[in-house]
Structure 1
Amino acid sequence: MSANTDRYENAVARYFEAWNARGFEALAKAVDAAWAEDGRYTDPLADAVGHEEIAELVSAVQAQFPGFSFRPTGVVDGHHDTARFSWELVNDAGDPSSGGGAAPVAGSDVITLDAQDRITSALGFLDRVPAGS
């Protein structure tokens, strides 16, 4: 792990802020803070380039999983301009009897940062997805 872990942890924190932002203005602001203007997000189900496409993708995922939020699992590991981390999508309700806390989706992502520590590339790997996704 790099001695400059704050750089990676801060970038990943902004990444999760974007994925969890609610409302058009908050989402647009969070995507702008996290990604470079021509940044890209790619996973097995999606490929989005630029702030508008990334915000549309995040909004679509939020619509597919209302009441859920992304949270990190484990530690952020990084070197040079690259960081990796794992995450899960959890029910905000938190009540296990109503499915709260259950994580229907989980994965690991690798991000590449520019000189301003904004994401130029995010590669998502899905470790767990609901049937039919």
Structure 2
Amino acid sequence: MSDFDAVIERYLAVWNETDPAARRAAIAGLFADDVHYVDPVAAVHGHAGLDGLIGAVHQQFPGLVFSAGGPVDAHHDQARFTWHLGRPGEEPLVIGFDVAERDTSGRIARVYGFIDKAPSGM
């Protein structure tokens, strides 16, 4: 397992954390204070923005979990990886991939998300 594999495991765990206090603590430990996250349906900045976005995803997709969709491809301080959102053991409802970039302290500073499969109306 590479260093970035562990970072992406933590990243997915943040997205799966349903306890708001635990999620905020995990965000603070993994993401830069001024993190920038953008995907086709959202663009947020900072810990509070990211926490709010993740909370909204939990409301929209209750009971679903994020999992790795394949290996992490990383070099230097950037990685791309596929993720799935769905019920364990079932076909994912949403599939996407993200590109994450770390800052000089090793925390995630930027995330660029792309959605490959989603329910209509998302």
Deviating beyond 3 angstroms after TM superposition, the runs of 4 or more aligned structure 1 residues are: none
Amino acid at match of 2:18: R
State the SS of the aligned residue for 2:37. Answer: strand
Matched residues, percent identical?
A: 38
Which one is further off, 49-58 or 20-29?
20-29
SS in 2 for 1:74: coil
The 1-side partners of 2:23 and 2:92 are apart by 22
Q: Is 2:77 the partner of 1:81?
A: yes
**Structure 1 vs Structure 2 CA RMSD:** 1.2
Letter in 2 for 1:80: H
Once the two structures are superposed, what CA deviation does each residue of 1:70-114 show, in whole Å capped at 9, x if it has no partner? 00011001111110100100115x5xxxxxx23111011000001
Match of 1:90 among 72, 86, 89: 86
Contact kept in structure 2, 1:8 and 1:76, CA below 8 Å? yes
2 CA distance for matches of 1:129 and 1:31? 25
Question: Which of 82, 94, 102 pairs up with 1:105?
Answer: 94
TM-score scaled by length of structure 2:
0.94
Unaligned runs of 5+ in 2: none
| 1:72 alignment partner in structure 2 | 68
Q: Any conservation in 2 of the 1:113–1:121 contact (CA below 8 Å)? A: yes
Counterpart of 1:62, as a letter, is: H
1:5-62 residue CA offsets vs partner (Å, 9 max, x unmatched): 6221121111111100111111101111221100111000000100000000000001
Alignment match, 1:47? 43
Q: 2:26 is aligned with what amino acid? A: A
